[in-house]
Structure 1
Amino acid sequence: MKHEWRKKEKKIYLPENQPELVEIPEFKFLTIEGEGSPQNKIFAEYIGVLYSVSYAIKMNLKKEEKQPSGYCDYTVYPLEGIWDITEEAKKTFKGTINKNDLIFKLMIRQPSFVTDDYFLEMLEQTKKRKPHSFLEQVTFEKITDGKCVQMMHIGSYDDEPQSFKVMEDFAEKENLSRISKDHREIYLTDFRKVAPEKLKTVLRFKVEPK
C-alpha cells in the first residue's frame, strides 16, 4: 500500500491554524544550504536539484528487483526549509529582516529505508541525467527536531511574524522557551500556482522547558 504523508502523518504535516506542542523524531533528509532572498531566480534552482534527486530515488526504487527491507511506494514529501539570518545581520537587527540577509537549509524528507549508499548512487545518476552545479552541494543527513511548537500559517510568507507571535505566546503559557530564532517551514502549496492569501505553510520552532 502506498504511503501518503497527507493521510498517514497528519500530526506532523497538517496541524491546525493554532499552536500546538509536538515531538518530532529523527528523519532522513536530502538537504542543500544557501543564502539570499527566496525571490531571487537562483532560489528555484536549489529547489529543483532537491526534487531531481528525490524523484530519482523514488522512481528507481520502484524498478529495483531487490528492494530494501521495509520498502513501500510513497508520495514524495514536501519541501521544507530552516531559516535564519547571517551573523552580520544579527549584529544590527532591529526587528525588520532584509531578505538578502537570509540563510537557509532546504530539504526534502526521505523514507527510512533509503540508505546513504543508495542516495550516493542516485546522486551520481542525477548528475549524468540532469547535470547542475548545485548537485555537488546536496547532502543526505538525519535531523531530529525534538520538542517543538508548530501551527498552520495560511497566507503570505510576509505575514508569518504574526503567527510566530501567537506561537511564542503559546510557548510562554506552556512555560517553554524558544531555543533560537531560526525556524522550520513546510510548504504545502506551490507559491508559483497559489495566491498569497491561500498559501499553506507549517511553521515550527524548537522549545525547551524554562
Structure 2
Amino acid sequence: MPPYDVKRELRQCYAPRNTGWELVDVPAQQFIAVDGRGDPNTSEAYARAVEALYSVAYTLKFTGRRTGDPDFVVGPLEGLWWSDRMEVFTSRDKDAWQWRMLISRPDWITEALVDEAKETALAKKGLPAIADIRHETLHEGPSAQLLHVGPYDDEGPVLAALHDEYLAANGLRMTGLHHEVYLSDPRRTEPARLRTVLRQPVRSAVR
C-alpha cells in the first residue's frame, strides 16, 4: 500500500486545475500549526516557524516508521492569512499580515503523538519555535478556490477580483481566513512557475 498522501486523497483541495474562482467543499482536516505576524520574506519568526513545523512533521513520519504506524507523505506547507485591514493583501503590505502556518496530519496522528514528536524534535533540533506548535482542526466547507500559477506578488489582482467581483456576482460573503497551499518549493522553482492554491471560505450573503 502506498503511503498516505493528502494531495492524492483530497485532490479537489490540493490539485485543482481551474485558474478562475470556483466553489469547492473542503472537509474537516487536522493540522499542526504555529502563529505569527509580519512579512514572510523578511521575518525571522516566519522562517523559524516553518523550520519548526517541518521538524515536527518529519519526526512524526519517522516515528511512525519505527512503531509500525501507517506511513505518510509530509503534506505541503499551508498558510492562513489575515489582517485588521483587508486592503493590505491586495496592496501587498506584508508587514501588516498575520499568519498561521500549517502542515496537515493524517487522522491517525493523535494530539498525544504530536506532543511526543514536539518533545523529540525539540531535544534533537533545539528550535524554540517548536514549543509554539499546536493542534488545529479546520473545517472550511464551501470555499472559493483556484490554482494560481506565478509569483506570489501577482496574487493581488486575483484577490481583488474575488473581493470586488466574484463574491457579489455569486451572492456570497467571506466567512473564514484566506488560505494558501504552497505546492512548489520557492527555493527550487522559478517565480513564474510557482503553483499556489488560493482559497477563501464563503457562505450565502442572504443568511
TM-score (norm 2): 0.89
Deviation at 1:26, TM superposition (A): 1.4
Partner of 1:157: 152
Tell me how far apart the structure 1 counterparts of residues 86 and 16 of structure 2 sit (CA, whole Å): 34
Partner of 2:34: 32
Cα RMSD (Å): 2.1
Residue 141 of structure 2, aligned match among 146, 169, 177? 146
Tell me how far apart the structure 2 counterparts of residues 7 and 97 of structure 1 sit (CA, whole Å): 32
Partner of 2:50: 47
SS of residue paired to 1:207: strand
Residue 81 of structure 1, aligned match among 79, 82, 91? 79
What one-letter code is carried by the residue in structure 2 that aligns with 1:142? T
Partner of 2:7: 6
Partner of 2:185: 190
SS of residue paired to 2:41: coil
Q: 1:41 to 1:94 in 2, by over 3 A?
A: closer
Residue 166 of structure 2, aligned match among 156, 167, 170? 170
Tell me how far apart the structure 1 counterparts of residues 101 and 89 of structure 2 sit (CA, whole Å): 26
Contact in 1 for aligned 2:4/2:73 (Cα 8 Å):
yes
Contact in 1 for aligned 2:92/2:156 (Cα 8 Å):
no
TM-score (norm 1): 0.88
Partner of 2:126: 131
Contact in 2 for aligned 1:150/1:167 (Cα 8 Å):
no
Asked whether 1:179 is paired with 2:175, we answer yes
SS of residue paired to 2:91: coil
- Taking the TM superposition and a 5 Å limit, the aligned residue runs for 1:39-118 are 39-40=41-42, 42=44, 43-65=46-68, 67=69, 72-85=70-83, 87=84, 90=85, 96-118=91-113
SS of residue paired to 2:179: strand
Tell me how far apart the structure 1 counterparts of residues 189 and 43 of structure 2 sit (CA, whole Å): 18
Deviation at 1:22, TM superposition (A): 1.1
Any unmatched runs of 5+ in structure 1?
none
Partner of 1:200: 195
Q: 1:22 to 1:92 in 2, by over 3 A?
A: closer
How many residues matched? Answer: 201
SS of residue paired to 2:166: helix
Contact in 2 for aligned 1:52/1:126 (Cα 8 Å):
yes
Identity %: 27
Q: Provide, for residues 110-143 of structure 1, a one-character-per-residue CA deviation record: whole Å limited to 9, x for no partner.
A: 0000111111111101110111111111101211
SS of residue paired to 1:190: coil
SS of residue paired to 1:129: helix
Deviation at 1:25, TM superposition (A): 1.7
Deviation at 1:94, TM superposition (A): 10
Partner of 2:25: 23
Q: 1:3 to 1:194 in 2, by over 3 A?
A: same
